[in-house]
Structure 1
Amino acid sequence: MTDADADAVMAIYADGIATGQATFQDQAGDWSAFSAGKLATPRIVACDADGGILGFAVLSPTSTRPVYKGVCEVSVYVSGAARGRGVGNLLMQRLVMESEAMGIWLLTASIFPENPASLILHTTHGFRCVGRHRGPARMTYGPMAGRWRDTLRLERRSTVAGV
């Protein structure tokens, strides 16, 4: 993923937001703010045969404290047109591989319980549920606007990095 991919990445992110099942975030915002909150690498895009971006995967640091440098939160988004075609699986596989090569030992995710596709994707790649946050935030948009929503906390401990 490079700055040249910004428009496509932000459109896919906005598409994910519009589902009401991906994030509490109510709008994609701009590329600069989005990019600033992510690690410089790995940043992965999946493309079709014509180079069109089908999805992306990035990591966000969970803390600025040096002791937590190997702990990151996962974001995997797939365009609506490409969902159900294995794109998320390929992105997650590559993200796990590259994160371990960088020495990241713990990947985390916060997922709405009503998002079975994301739960399946994560558990397929070794994530396990470690808890449930009861209503950490209120939805501000979509069919669940105004409701406090739970999130499931998942994590994947590397057997390669940080052992």
Structure 2
Amino acid sequence: MYKLLLLTLMVTVWMTLHLQQTDEEAAMKLLHQGKRAVNRAAHAAALQLDRQALSEGIIRIDEAAARAAASSYLAANLQLSGNDWKPLPNSPLREPIQILVFQIIDEGVSFPYVYRNDEYDYEATLRSPGVILIIRMEHPRIFTATKPIGWEIKGVAEQVVG
């Protein structure tokens, strides 16, 4: 009788550990998906040059076009709706993302430029005009007893001048 009770207990412990490992793997997959989305969005934003300034030989990023491109790429890659960032039914997210930082670095600084953000513990060196993007994203846990995992995902992209 005690062997049957021990077997039941061991199977319960094993299943719990297996589900926790599966949850951790799903979280890491979502983190990598979020990082790729941020990198793509920052890159798309950095490519939005102001054509008028470019015709004068000045490399300047068009802020409105850059924001629109970054928003479009984030929404498409993370399966989010419009500007409210709410997840669509097929999205791996359950909570909206938050855009914490969207900053364009172009005129008014000398390159190479060291961008520092102490609030999010981020530093990047830009050698040409570029875009800094930081978002907050949370992974819903399988076990409701544990807290969701959240990340501040950082990305940077710059123009290739040369």
Shorter-chain TM range is under 0.3
Q: Which has the larger radius of gyration?
A: 2
TM-score, length-scaled by structure 1: 0.26
Identify the structure with the greater strand proportion: 1
TM-score, length-scaled by structure 2: 0.26
Identify the structure with the greater helix proportion: 2
